[in-house]
Chains A and B, each alone.
Chain A
Amino acid sequence: MELGYLFTTILKMALLVAWIYGLLWGLNKKEIWKKALTILLAFGVIQGAFLLQFGDYAVFSAFDQGLLYQAVTMAMVAMGLNLIYGFNGQFSLAQWGFYGIGAYCAADITYRWTNGDASGLFVLGIGVVLAALALIGVGRLLRLKRGIPVLSAFTFYLVAIIIVGFVAVFVGKELAAAVDPGFGGRGAPGALASPAAVQIVFFLSVLIAGAFAAEVSFLFGLPVLTLGSDYFGIATLGFAIVVQTMMVNSDTILPFPEMKGGRGMIGIPKLTSWIAAFAFLLMVVVIVRNFIRSSTGRATMSVREDEIAAKAMGINVAGSKLMAFVLGSFVAGIGGGVYAHYIGFLSPSTFSFLAGFNPLIIVVFGGLGSMTGSIAASFVWIFFLEGFLRVLLAQMGTDAPTWRFVLYPITLLLLMLIRPQGLMGSVEWGFLRADRIIRRLKGNDAAQKGQA
């Protein structure tokens, strides 16, 4: 039984890694239709596997599907962290906090919506948009004067955000009250309560969650990123702890009774389907890849390599760090939104800072500075640790969950001793690889010569 289970789990992990390879390989094709076909195929293969059933044996059982969703969200979080840590060199432990912020934020919007209250969507939606405008506007204004100290800049941003927050709450509540009839009454749901509307709200909520996490990370990162590497690490660890404390006290300190504090938020609509998870994963992969493989991305990497040289080359080091941090947090927020709607229940213990070491370990496992590594390691990690070990060890009695956490630091130590650069090193597959632009240019030259 165990051997069979071990074999199928390893097989599934291998197939999933192959699936990732295929997806990335297909996306790298030049023609649009080939890309589209790849996306369709990649989506269809997994969707098909969901439906595949031999008698009693489901190829992708409900348990496996859950693992898949977890792996997808973990891949997003890990990619964001890899952007911050692997590519920009900022040792951050706050990623898990932004993941949690995204999860609670998205969950709150859809929870309220399905309970006939549009205020979550309107307040947060308006707030996020206005805050983005306010941050950009204040940034423009501050740029008029050179050399403003970080703390002063932070104060301006903070004041702007607070004002915007009040406006958003006021306007959002008014608007929500205005559309209230749209939900219809009991037994006669209105247009706004229809499944299609709920799906749209779900998509919006995930995007808003990402933007919200990004804006929080901007405010937090602006002063803290100036602290320097190890101090930054400790401050981000503090951030993760504070976020969890806030979650535990969400119904007492924070005014959100529906989050139910330490007891955990229940009744979140389970809206994450494979198509949604896949779409968001694809979006995140494309965003991170397009960022890294651009001039801005190269500047980001130069900051990791040598800050002083980067400064001397005209790179705005502080800005580059902030950009990577904000983008990484945005991605984590998206992951949180997808996770919340898959699991349907959010408990603060999920977001404890100890669990926050998981994405860090995944990023290191996969290889710092390898996007492919982060994605592949997320899938392997979740299927091995959450899937295989959990099931296997469950047969070992009450100590089982503890054994899981005894075995994995040992694996970690061995990995660090044997291969500290991670499993993938800095290898990238297909779509994520740097453009071989020289080869292409040379190819063009050769072609021209041939014509001449």
Chain B
Amino acid sequence: MPEKSDLPAAMSGISRRRRPPLAWVGNGFLIIVAVLAAYVLVSNLAKNPIEFLQNVLDGLKLGCVYALIALGYTMVYGIVKLINFAHGDVFMVGAFTSFYAVSQFNLHQWPQMLFPAIPAGISLVVGSFTVILLSMVVCTLLAITIERVAYKPLRDAPRIAALITAIGVSFFLEFFGALQFVFSPRFIPYKSPFDTTAWYIQGGIHPIVSGQSSPDNTISFSNIFLIILVASVLVQLFLQFLVRRTKIGVAMRAASFDKPTARLMGINVDRVISFTFAIGAAFAGLGGVLYAIAYASIWTQLGILPGLKAFVAAVLGGIGSLPGAFVGALIMGQAESLTMSYISTPMRDAVAFTILIIVLLVKPTGIFGEPAGEKA
């Protein structure tokens, strides 16, 4: 696209770079795959548009949770070039923290317990916020500890050492959490700080009475869906602001671009890295609480697959790019939801990874990624 046609080289009749031979075969293959996928989607959309829309909404919910995790991956990878496998487990710790805060300490009811005069609604909102904030703080502290103890000593070691360490930390959190006296080795039904309410649309919005399902052929959504949606959009906007407009954001961008030079410019790179881990973990904690509320069951390996999907989403969108992580996460959510509904449930991971491979083959730096510098 930058090759303007009015340049002398093009006018002087010198041939341009030859097109690779047989490229149409590969393109044809991609087109066939795309047509097949489109056929599956369109035929199902035609068959039952309402069910299709419902699936899209479910995918959106999943995608927004992935987006909250993917932000942490993409920021950390952008700066230290480390796949922080432990990030998914930080997400899990966020879910467990809120579970214990609610089920053991009734933290979500503290305003009502301290000031009985407060209306129940306000108490619930404030209490739930406190629970979420607590989870975020715990996750932040955990992430900073991990970074200090495990990653920082290895900053100058070969990259594989840090990666193996990340895998080790991830295993440690999963299995340490699975000990009897820590969390639990089993699935636990999650106790939510507030009740989920759902509505369905049928010529207006009607609440679903708990214990009943929505009538056939209607679209339903819940308050947690709305919260997840709003939270992920707000977090995205907040991070955009942080990275583009604040001093620490500039420092982060500088550090991700060139660490030694950033250091010369007086930026405390170590602090920036810690901050990046911390902020990523805070939103992973938020995601963990919301995920647990939405899916109502938790265990210590809860973080592995969402963490992985979120990383794939970050790569898909172009690693290091915040909007990329968001868009990638939404694509992953849709891919998973639609595959589960229209192809087969077990194939959802296969489809997710196939999309990743195809996108990377077509655009090696991901959807929003900047082209890598070409220097031999």
Please give, as numbers and ranges, the residues of chain A lying within 8 Å of B175 by CB-CB distance: 402, 405-406, 409
In-complex Cβ contact of A150 among B26, B160, B174 (8 A): B26
A231 proximal to B (CB < 8 A): yes
A49 proximal to B (CB < 8 A): no
Q: Contact between A406 and B172 (Cβ–Cβ < 8 Å)?
A: yes
Known: A357-B167, A402-B178, A412-B168. A417 touches B154 (CB 8 A): yes
Q: Contact between B356 and A235 (Cβ–Cβ < 8 Å)?
A: yes
Question: Whole-angstrom distance between the alpha carbons of A13 and B28 in the complex?
Answer: 56
Q: Contact between B180 and A399 (Cβ–Cβ < 8 Å)?
A: yes
Overall SS of chain A's interface: helix
Using CB atoms and an 8 Å cutoff, list the residues of chain A in contact with chain B: 91, 145-156, 158, 223-224, 226-228, 230-231, 233-235, 237-239, 241-242, 245, 248-249, 253, 308, 354, 357, 360-361, 364, 368, 398-399, 402-403, 405-406, 408-410, 412-413, 416-417, 420
Q: Contact between B164 and A151 (Cβ–Cβ < 8 Å)?
A: no
Known: A233-B83, A408-B171, A417-B153. A152 touches B25 (CB 8 A): yes
B30 proximal to A (CB < 8 A): yes
Q: Contact between B150 and A148 (Cβ–Cβ < 8 Å)?
A: no
B349 proximal to A (CB < 8 A): yes
Q: Contact between B357 and A149 (Cβ–Cβ < 8 Å)?
A: no
Known: A148-B20, A242-B349, A398-B180. A368 touches B171 (CB 8 A): no
Residue of B nearest to A238 (CB): B353
Q: Contact between A403 and B179 (Cβ–Cβ < 8 Å)?
A: yes
Overall SS of chain B's interface: helix
For chain B, the count of residues having a C-beta within 8 Å of the partner chain is: 55
In-complex Cβ contact of B308 among A237, A364, A405 (8 A): A237
In the assembled complex, how far is the CB of residue A329 from the closest CB belonging to chain B, in whole angstroms? 17
Q: Contact between A227 and B361 (Cβ–Cβ < 8 Å)?
A: yes
Question: Whole-angstrom distance between the alpha carbons of A169 and B236 in the complex?
Answer: 52
Please give, as numbers and ranges, the residues of chain B lying within 8 Å of A357 by CB-CB distance: 167, 171
In the assembled complex, how far is the CB of residue A231 from the closest CB belonging to chain B, in whole angstroms? 6
Residue of B nearest to A228 (CB): B364
Residues 276-310 of chain B, each 1 if its beta carbon lies under 8 Å from chain A, else 0:
00000000000000000000000000001000100
Q: List 5 extra interface pairs beyond A231-B364, A412-B164, CB under 8 A.
A: A152-B26, A223-B361, A235-B353, A253-B346, A412-B167
Residues 324-354 of chain B, each 1 if its beta carbon lies under 8 Å from chain A, else 0:
0000000000000000000010110110110
Q: Contact between B361 and A226 (Cβ–Cβ < 8 Å)?
A: yes
B136 proximal to A (CB < 8 A): no
B158 proximal to A (CB < 8 A): yes
B249 proximal to A (CB < 8 A): no
Question: Whole-angstrom distance between the alpha carbons of A245 and B339 in the complex?
Answer: 14
Can you report 25 residue pairs joining A to B where beta carbons are below 8 Å apart? A91-B160, A148-B21, A149-B23, A151-B25, A151-B26, A151-B27, A152-B25, A154-B26, A227-B361, A234-B83, A234-B315, A235-B357, A238-B353, A238-B356, A242-B353, A249-B346, A360-B164, A361-B167, A364-B160, A399-B179, A403-B179, A405-B174, A409-B172, A410-B172, A413-B168
In-complex Cβ contact of B22 among A152, A409, A413 (8 A): A152
B157 proximal to A (CB < 8 A): yes
Please give, as numbers and ranges, the residues of chain B lying within 8 Å of A231 by CB-CB distance: 315, 360, 364
Question: Whole-angstrom distance between the alpha carbons of A228 and B172 in the complex?
Answer: 29
B234 proximal to A (CB < 8 A): no
Q: Contact between A224 and B376 (Cβ–Cβ < 8 Å)?
A: no
B29 proximal to A (CB < 8 A): yes
Known: A223-B357, A420-B161. A147 touches B179 (CB 8 A): no
In-complex Cβ contact of A151 among B176, B179, B361 (8 A): B361
Q: Contact between A234 and B311 (Cβ–Cβ < 8 Å)?
A: yes
Question: Whole-angstrom distance between the alpha carbons of A200 and B41 in the complex?
Answer: 49
Please give, as numbers and ranges, the residues of chain A lying within 8 Å of B81 by CB-CB distance: 230
Q: Contact between B349 and A238 (Cβ–Cβ < 8 Å)?
A: yes
Q: Contact between A145 and B21 (Cβ–Cβ < 8 Å)?
A: yes
Best-buried of B83, B160, B163 by chain A (most CB within 10 Å) = B160
Question: Whole-angstrom distance between the alpha carbons of A420 and B164 in the complex?
Answer: 10
Q: Contact between A416 and B360 (Cβ–Cβ < 8 Å)?
A: no
Please give, as numbers and ranges, the residues of chain A lying within 8 Å of B168 by CB-CB distance: 409-410, 412-413, 416
In the assembled complex, how far is the CB of residue A255 from the closest CB belonging to chain B, in whole angstroms? 14
B112 proximal to A (CB < 8 A): no
B312 proximal to A (CB < 8 A): yes
Question: Whole-angstrom distance between the alpha carbons of A364 and B361 in the complex?
Answer: 29
B218 proximal to A (CB < 8 A): no
B44 proximal to A (CB < 8 A): no
Please give, as numbers and ranges, the residues of chain B lying within 8 Å of A151 by CB-CB distance: 25-27, 29-30, 361
B192 proximal to A (CB < 8 A): no
Known: A234-B356, A364-B160. A241 touches B349 (CB 8 A): yes
Please give, as numbers and ranges, the residues of chain B lying within 8 Å of A145 by CB-CB distance: 21-22
In the assembled complex, how far is the CB of residue A180 from the closest CB belonging to chain B, in whole angstroms? 34
Interface residues of B in 1-55 (CB under 8 A from A): 18, 20-30
Question: Whole-angstrom distance between the alpha carbons of A245 and B343 in the complex?
Answer: 14
Question: Whole-angstrom distance between the alpha carbons of A245 and B22 in the complex?
Answer: 34
Please give, as numbers and ranges, the residues of chain A lying within 8 Å of B174 by CB-CB distance: 405
Q: Contact between A413 and B165 (Cβ–Cβ < 8 Å)?
A: yes
Please give, as numbers and ranges, the residues of chain A lying within 8 Å of B176 by CB-CB distance: 406
Give 3 closest A-B pairs by Cβ, nearest first: A151-B26, A238-B353, A152-B26
Please give, as numbers and ranges, the residues of chain A lying within 8 Å of B165 by CB-CB distance: 412-413, 416
In the assembled complex, how far is the CB of residue A95 from the closest CB belonging to chain B, in whole angstroms? 14
Residues 166-198 of chain B, each 1 if its beta carbon lies under 8 Å from chain A, else 0:
011111101110111000010000000000000
Q: Contact between B376 and A308 (Cβ–Cβ < 8 Å)?
A: yes
Please give, as numbers and ranges, the residues of chain B lying within 8 Å of A368 by CB-CB distance: 160
Q: Contact between B172 and A402 (Cβ–Cβ < 8 Å)?
A: no
Q: Contact between B20 and A149 (Cβ–Cβ < 8 Å)?
A: yes
Question: Whole-angstrom distance between the alpha carbons of A368 and B356 in the complex?
Answer: 29
In-complex Cβ contact of A147 among B21, B347, B364 (8 A): B21
Known: A231-B315, A402-B179, A413-B168. A155 touches B357 (CB 8 A): no
Question: Whole-angstrom distance between the alpha carbons of A357 and B376 in the complex?
Answer: 33
Please give, as numbers and ranges, the residues of chain B lying within 8 Å of A405 by CB-CB distance: 171, 174-175
Q: Contact between A239 and B353 (Cβ–Cβ < 8 Å)?
A: yes
Q: Contact between B311 and A245 (Cβ–Cβ < 8 Å)?
A: no
Residues 200-215 of chain B, each 1 if its beta carbon lies under 8 Å from chain A, else 0:
0000000000000000
Please give, as numbers and ranges, the residues of chain A lying within 8 Å of B179 by CB-CB distance: 399, 402-403, 406
Please give, as numbers and ranges, the residues of chain B lying within 8 Å of A364 by CB-CB distance: 160, 164
Question: Whole-angstrom distance between the alpha carbons of A296 and B375 in the complex?
Answer: 27
Please give, as numbers and ranges, the residues of chain A lying within 8 Å of B22 by CB-CB distance: 145, 148-149, 152
In the assembled complex, how far is the CB of residue B142 from the closest CB belonging to chain A, in whole angstroms? 15
Please give, as numbers and ranges, the residues of chain B lying within 8 Å of A235 by CB-CB distance: 353, 356-357, 360
In the assembled complex, how far is the CB of residue B228 from the closest CB belonging to chain A, in whole angstroms? 25
Please give, as numbers and ranges, the residues of chain B lying within 8 Å of A226 by CB-CB distance: 361, 364
Please give, as numbers and ranges, the residues of chain B lying within 8 Å of A242 by CB-CB distance: 349-350, 353
Please give, as numbers and ranges, the residues of chain A lying within 8 Å of B308 by CB-CB distance: 237, 241
Please give, as numbers and ranges, the residues of chain B lying within 8 Å of A158 by CB-CB distance: 29
Known: A227-B361, A239-B353, A402-B185. A155 touches B29 (CB 8 A): yes
Q: Contact between B171 and A245 (Cβ–Cβ < 8 Å)?
A: no
Please give, as numbers and ranges, the residues of chain A lying within 8 Å of B356 by CB-CB distance: 234-235, 238
Residues 133-170 of chain B, each 1 if its beta carbon lies under 8 Å from chain A, else 0:
00000000000000000100110011011011101111
Q: Contact between A253 and B344 (Cβ–Cβ < 8 Å)?
A: yes
Question: Whole-angstrom distance between the alpha carbons of A87 and B311 in the complex?
Answer: 27
